[in-house]
């Protein structure tokens, strides 16, 4: 969920901690129920090179899979706590939820923060705005106590939206950005950085497991990694530069032929996007090779061919990461199958892609701020 432009507003030993939110099962419980947990642990012993999480606390927050389009988890804000469903987004850096003063249609159906009911609320005279791929918001910066599972950040700066558009049909209240602080639009310290600086998170690491086919079990974890969510070893990929979760891609191939990224390119790993996005000309080429039938901006394929569509392979740091047809095809409300590829709206001087949930559902991802790298491994 990449922010694009700013707006002004002229107005005011390992311990795993599980946090049950909205009565979702964790992946560990799901595996246990199917008698598969012991098999997974025997086949894939714990191996996490160059990072030690011994004697650390790992907070695991369940996420809710919303039709394989986005994933939300619960946080609370204020004293006493008020609950919100947010998207944990690696492409942005700001936390925001709707204000009680927001009169936009999207705000009317979602939880709104009632600041007068919080004894720890603090106002500051600062405004900001963010434009995402799916919508935009304008709001004010405030401070209050924010909780993510058992992690507590007191006097945390965050945004209250006063005006929103584009989020009318989105079943989440706000966004919790997990990108680097230099990308904060509000120019405030992101919650992950504040928790890390205060020692609440023992290791500057978070990780995602995203379930498939609307199943339960999706999680985001802070302060370490639960190895039960991935197979084999993590492959570590250095960032293009510290300050953004983008990596270098060697090439993109299909049926052994290079179809994009012929001279290398970059890709942002974006947990807030339901798409794989790239330059318009190259995305059109991918759609043609798949054999899609365009209707407006959506590209359809017969559902009967999904299982025989060729995988699209992203080669990253010398490792191939195949994305099969069943991963880049979704069904709409009428049961029609369409691709998850979309043209990027923001043009750049060099070729760049966004690898969203179609990619991240296949590969467990570890975001290592301490070493400016991302770890990828096949998800269980």
**Which helix (H) or strand (E) element contains residue 139?**
strand 136-148
∠ CA 226-232-236, nearest 5°, is: 80
Query: Burial level of 77, CB count in 10 A (0-12/13-18/19+)?
Result: buried
User: ∠ CA(110), CA(113), CA(116), 5° rounding?
Assistant: 145
- Cβ neighbours, 10 Å, residue 3: 22
Active site residue: 68, 144, 193, 270, which one? 270
From the candidates 68, 89, 94, 173, which is the catalytic residue? 89
Report the distance separating Cα 84 and Cα 122, nearest Å: 19
Closest to 185 in 3D by CA, of 133, 139, 128, 132: 128
CA dist 285 → 278, 293, 295, 329, 343 (Å) = 11, 13, 16, 16, 11
Whether 144 is catalytic is: no
- Residue 300's beta-bridge partner residues? 293, 338
Q: What is the DSSP letter of 109?
A: T
Question: Is 89 tagged catalytic?
Answer: yes
Cβ neighbours of 299 (radius 10 Å): 23
**Would you name the residues annotated as active-site residues?**
89, 270
């Amino acid at each position: 969920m990449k922010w694009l432009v700013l707006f002004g507003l002229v107005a005011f030993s390992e311990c795993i901690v599980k946090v049950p939110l909205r009565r979702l099962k964790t992946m560990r419980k799901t595996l246990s129920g199917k008698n598969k947990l012991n098999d997974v642990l025997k086949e894939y012993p714990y191996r996490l090179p160059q990072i030690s999480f011994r004697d650390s606390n790992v907070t695991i927050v369940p996420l809710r899979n919303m039709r394989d389009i986005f994933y939300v988890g619960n946080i609370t804000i204020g004293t006493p706590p008020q609950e919100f469903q947010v998207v944990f987004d690696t492409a942005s850096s700001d936390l925001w939820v709707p204000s009680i003063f927001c009169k936009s249609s999207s705000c009317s159906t979602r939880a709104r923060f009632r600041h007068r009911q919080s004894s720890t609320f603090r106002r500051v005279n600062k405004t900001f705005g963010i434009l995402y791929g799916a919508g935009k918001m304008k709001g004010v910066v405030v401070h209050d106590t924010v909780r993510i599972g058992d992690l507590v950040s007191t006097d945390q700066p965050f945004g209250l939206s006063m005006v929103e558009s584009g989020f009318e049909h989105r079943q989440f209240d706000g966004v919790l950005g997990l990108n680097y602080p230099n990308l904060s639009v509000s120019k405030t310290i992101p919650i992950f950085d504040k928790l890390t600086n205060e020692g609440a998170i023992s290791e500057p690491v978070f990780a995602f497991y995203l379930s498939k086919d609307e199943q339960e079990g999706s999680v985001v974890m802070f302060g370490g990694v639960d190895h039960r969510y991935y197979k084999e070893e993590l492959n570590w990929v250095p960032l293009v530069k510290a300050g953004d979760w983008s990596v270098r891609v060697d090439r993109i191939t299909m049926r052994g032929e290079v179809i994009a990224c012929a001279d290398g390119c970059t890709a942002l790993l974006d947990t807030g996007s339901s798409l794989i996005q790239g330059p318009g000309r190259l995305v059109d080429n991918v759609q043609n090779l798949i054999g899609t039938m365009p209707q407006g901006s959506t590209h359809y394929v017969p559902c009967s061919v999904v299982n025989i569509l060729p995988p699209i392979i992203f080669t990253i740091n010398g490792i191939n990461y195949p994305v099969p047809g069943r991963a880049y095809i979704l069904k709409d409300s009428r049961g029609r199958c369409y691709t998850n590829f979309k043209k990027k709206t923001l043009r750049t001087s060099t070729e760049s892609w966004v690898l969203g949930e179609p990619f991240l559902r296949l590969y467990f991802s570890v975001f290592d701020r301490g070493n400016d790298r991302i770890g990828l491994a096949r998800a269980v």
